[in-house]
Chains A and B, each alone.
Chain A
Amino acid sequence: MVLNSKIPEGPIQQKWDNHRFNLKLVNATNKRKYTIIVVGTGLAGASAAASLAELGYNVITLSYHESPRRAHSIAAQGGINAPKNYKNDGDSIWRLFYDTVKGGDYRAREANVYRLAQVSGNIIDQCVAQGVPFAREYGGMLDNRSFGGAQVSRTFYARGQTGQQLLLGAYGALSRQTHLGRVKFYGRREMLDLVVIDGQARGVIARNLENGQIERFVGNAVILATGGYGNVFYLATMAKYSNATAVWKAHKKGAFFGNPCFTQIHPTCIPLSSGYQSKLTLMSESLRNDGRIWVPKKAGDKRNPREIPEEERDYYLERLYPSYGNLAPRDIASRRAKEMCDKGFGVGATGLAVYLDFADTIKRNGKAWVEEKYGNLFDMYHEITNENGYETPMRIYPAVHYTMGGLWVDYNLMSTIPGLYVIGEANFSDHGANRLGASALMQGLADGYFVIPYTIGDYLATTKFAAIKTDHPEFEKSEKETKEMLKRLVSIKGKEPVDIIHKQLGNVMWEYCGMARNESGLKKALDLIPQVREEFWRNVIVPGSLDGFNQELEKAYRVADYLELAELMVIDSLHREESCGGHFREEYQTEDGEAKRNDEKFAYVAAWEYKGEKKWELHKEPLIFEYVKPATRSYK
């Protein structure tokens, strides 16, 4: 199979406009004859479902939450980018496009990124009209701030809860369509398989999480908006339910997986404290706008940070990157923190933390100013660590936060299975090897509000559909396989609870496929992962019944999929013999420790095709940079 990215012809500024004109339309009165299944109701899923229902399609949405409002998009804090240039500081669609391609370390598809930058302004318009209470200036105009990796102020925000407010906006739009009967929402349903009939994605198998029943849903197309797979690492900032099962099942049914090794480690998380910790908590990197990051100049300095004089502190980001300073992109800020700690300069009880200090800002602008801007983050920090961030510097450490990789999609956001679309974090698309701050919300909503409503129509208008009902043999088969898998899990009756084995996998991944990777470590991981997998299938214990609410069972089948996906992440990581963005291979670095790309050999998307147990075939989509010429990323 040859990958066809379907990038439209013409100059980049006109590609999307031309393409929209060339896409076939579904007649308004025919739209209700098509059923679209949307899995996931975060920013991407909710905005897509609402927009498609507004157009007149018959929409079914599934979520493993009781309500769409609980999706993990809600936890995004910092903001959403749009080049409105309200600050008159030289921003433009072109600059956002340029920043995103460069920030992604030249591993994203130019045409997609340009479109993203183009529609991002419409997102702000849409959200404001919905009543999203973005921050305002005294004159009543929308406020903007600058954000990690950008030199202009283009980030719109709603205190530290931007994701929440945007999701509630999309949830409102979805609720309106639900009320009008155009969307049928199925809560507490988890997709456990994709049904492909005659080469087309035609339905899903889902488990009703309340009563354990296996249910079948049939439609003309399926949209996965199921988020990222960072929980492979066990400890991550992802919500506990966030998982890879939907995308993994689709992968095993023929959807290629793009760049699985591209994971993002976020620099400003609260460090691990106790041995028993269920997840890590992120603090918005907007903190880096006003906080200064430092470690003591003397390794192992255990003094109270307030007693360490200015000249004995190393503000290492400001020292290494004078022009970006504390705002250097996430991958760089994270890696430098790890490096400082590895060299023994780390602080706190574990030595795995660096200081984020607001003393200068408080001196300059007053505590009230800091409180208004970041109050909720300081409160959060206090509740978790029992320390007062206004009086003593906060401690931060990087944590897994986002996955740039995901199912491969073409320009229309369709995967390699016809009729299967993948949007938001679940696809591999726009962020290349590293995502810039405030770009995840932008991409989720761009895909849902302004891309998929156009592109899916073309597929529906140009495809012939056989009349299929849920009693089709493929549904029977999928349901049977799903039930067998679940039965197998509860019948192992071993000794170790799911979390224990999940942690083992997480340790392997963090150690060997985390912030820095090397060949021997990755090979070791390839030895260890099958051992953990074997341990799981031999020794896991899943109590409770199949036909009822069973949270251990839910965890178990999710972990079963991580155990396979983890291996592909390592394989991808091993094959990419270069460093780029979040993928840092220790063998490939410059003299001063920066990532060293290899554009001649690796300027492509690695799209992996599943070929049966533990076998994958690599397909390459070459990346051609016509407008933003690859250069060494410099933030100095």
Chain B
Amino acid sequence: MNFTLKVWRQKDRESRGGFVSYTAKDISPDMSFLEMLDAVNQELARKGEDIIAFDHDCREGICGSCGLYINGRAHGNQSGVTTCELRMRHFKDGQEIVVEPWRAKAFPVIKDLVVDRTAFDRIIQAGGYVSVDTGSAPEASTIPIPKEIAEEAMDAAVCIGCGACVAACKNSSAMLFLSAKISQLALLPQGHPERKIRVRNMINQMDKEGFGHCSNTYACEVECPKKISVTHIARLNREFIRAQF
């Protein structure tokens, strides 16, 4: 298969970026989107040109490093996959593919398709954990948790922190990301002692980072590669209101 790529190139944080066209030739339908970019990069490297920078690591959809905006969709047009899992068989031979980085004020571009997502880390640092020092834990079986509660907590905990929810949202809201952690820890008894202060601090931090607000378009849920439900945002809102009293 052959493709025409329009790729966002940007030298560094300060420089202005723009689209540059490339051709991807002899691509096998079984290749992943990132392997297709590898092939393009290999040709660029051979010519001594600076390669297209993109974040990636595990290439099996779990580390959350990769994230490209492909033809206007976060992680491309398939549901439930990250960019590294997306295969070229989902594209038409000869198609033009526009590749952009996540676009959000809170995710500044570092280079080309690589963005700075440390805002997510600072949100977690503000309270996305249970404060338990190493060694102070009780025997694991002393905390029974109903299976359905544990499963629902796990549904939220599967978040990989890729940022697709933010990229897909017209307001660049981080509510789905935040709700995944809040929901996990609100459902589990271990999270209860700190639930009020946690939600307040994490929301404050989210606002400070420049993420927008949620206007319930559900775009985040559609694009989330781990299919995290917006019902967790509803729980986040309840937790936030509850924390006011």
> Residues on A close to B: CB < 8 A?
47, 50-51, 54, 65-72, 74-75, 84, 86, 121-122, 124-131, 133-142, 158-159, 161, 164-165, 168, 171-173, 175-176, 178-179, 185, 187, 210-211, 239-241, 273-279, 281-282, 379-380, 383-386, 449-450, 453, 493, 495-500, 541-545, 548-552
Known: A74-B63, A210-B110. A549 touches B89 (CB 8 A): no
Neighbouring A residues of B111 by C-beta, 8 Å: 210, 548-549
Give which listed residue, A75, A126, A185, contacts B60 with CB less than 8 A.
A75
Task: Determine whether the beta carbon of A499 is less than 8 Å from that of B38.
Answer: yes
Closest-CB distance, A497 to chain B (whole angstroms): 4
Give which listed residue, A74, A130, A453, contacts B132 with CB less than 8 A.
A130
Interface presence of B231 (CB below 8 A): no
Known: A175-B128, A240-B57, A281-B60. A133 touches B121 (CB 8 A): no
A-B pairs with CB below 8 Å: how many?
A: 233
Interface presence of B217 (CB below 8 A): no
Neighbouring A residues of B184 by C-beta, 8 Å: 131, 133
Interface presence of B154 (CB below 8 A): yes
Interface presence of B209 (CB below 8 A): no
Distance, CA A75 to CA B153, complexed state (A): 20
| CB closest residue in chain A, given B61 | A380
Neighbouring B residues of A239 by C-beta, 8 Å: 57-59, 63
Distance, CA A66 to CA B61, complexed state (A): 17
Distance, CA A135 to CA B50, complexed state (A): 46
Known: A54-B134, A70-B64, A241-B57. A178 touches B46 (CB 8 A): no
Closest-CB distance, B244 to chain A (whole angstroms): 23
| CB closest residue in chain B, given A498 | B45
Interface presence of B131 (CB below 8 A): yes
Task: Determine whether the beta carbon of B124 is less than 8 Å from that of A175.
Answer: yes
Interface presence of B95 (CB below 8 A): no
Give which listed residue, B59, B85, B117, B146, contacts A66 with CB less than 8 A.
B117
Question: Which interface class (under 10, 10 to 19, 20 to 34, 35 or more) fits B?
Answer: 35 or more
Task: Determine whether the beta carbon of A541 is less than 8 Å from that of B138.
Answer: no
Task: Determine whether the beta carbon of A65 is less than 8 Å from that of B125.
Answer: no
Give which listed residue, A51, A68, A551, contacts B134 with CB less than 8 A.
A51
Distance, CA A498 to CA B110, complexed state (A): 23
Task: Determine whether the beta carbon of A69 is less than 8 Å from that of B64.
Answer: yes
Closest-CB distance, B143 to chain A (whole angstroms): 6
Known: A47-B134, A239-B63, A543-B44. A133 touches B57 (CB 8 A): no
Main secondary structure of the interface of B (DSSP, over half): loop
Of the A-B pairs whose beta carbons lie under 8 Å apart in the complex, a sample of 26, sorted by A's number, is A66-B65, A66-B117, A72-B63, A126-B134, A128-B137, A130-B132, A131-B188, A131-B190, A131-B191, A133-B153, A140-B145, A141-B144, A161-B62, A161-B158, A165-B154, A173-B134, A240-B56, A273-B30, A274-B30, A276-B31, A277-B35, A279-B59, A384-B30, A543-B44, A543-B45, A543-B51
Known: A131-B130, A548-B12, A551-B51. A164 touches B62 (CB 8 A): yes
Neighbouring B residues of A240 by C-beta, 8 Å: 56-59
Task: Determine whether the beta carbon of A72 is less than 8 Å from that of B57.
Answer: yes
Give which listed residue, A65, A135, A172, A500, contacts B124 with CB less than 8 A.
A172
> Residues on B close to A: CB < 8 A?
11-12, 28, 30-32, 34-35, 38-39, 41-42, 44-51, 53, 55-65, 78, 80-81, 85-87, 89, 110-111, 114, 116-118, 120-121, 124-126, 128-141, 143-147, 150-151, 153-154, 157-158, 160-161, 184-185, 188, 190-191
Neighbouring A residues of B64 by C-beta, 8 Å: 69-70
Known: A66-B116, A450-B134. A276 touches B35 (CB 8 A): yes
| CB closest residue in chain A, given B153 | A133
Q: Which interface residue of B34, B53, B129, B134 has the most chain A CB atoms within 10 A?
A: B134
Known: A125-B138, A386-B89. A131 touches B185 (CB 8 A): yes
Closest-CB distance, B64 to chain A (whole angstroms): 6
Give which listed residue, B12, B38, B136, B188, contacts A278 with CB less than 8 A.
B38
Task: Determine whether the beta carbon of B137 is less than 8 Å from that of A136.
Answer: no
Distance, CA A127 to CA B141, complexed state (A): 12
Closest-CB distance, A628 to chain B (whole angstroms): 27
Distance, CA A131 to CA B110, complexed state (A): 33
Distance, CA A126 to CA B85, complexed state (A): 33
8 nearest A-B pairs in the assembled complex, by CB-CB distance: A172-B129, A140-B144, A129-B137, A497-B45, A51-B134, A125-B137, A179-B125, A136-B150
| CB closest residue in chain B, given A130 | B130
Task: Determine whether the beta carbon of A552 is less than 8 Å from that of B137.
Answer: no
Neighbouring B residues of A68 by C-beta, 8 Å: 121
Closest-CB distance, B76 to chain A (whole angstroms): 11
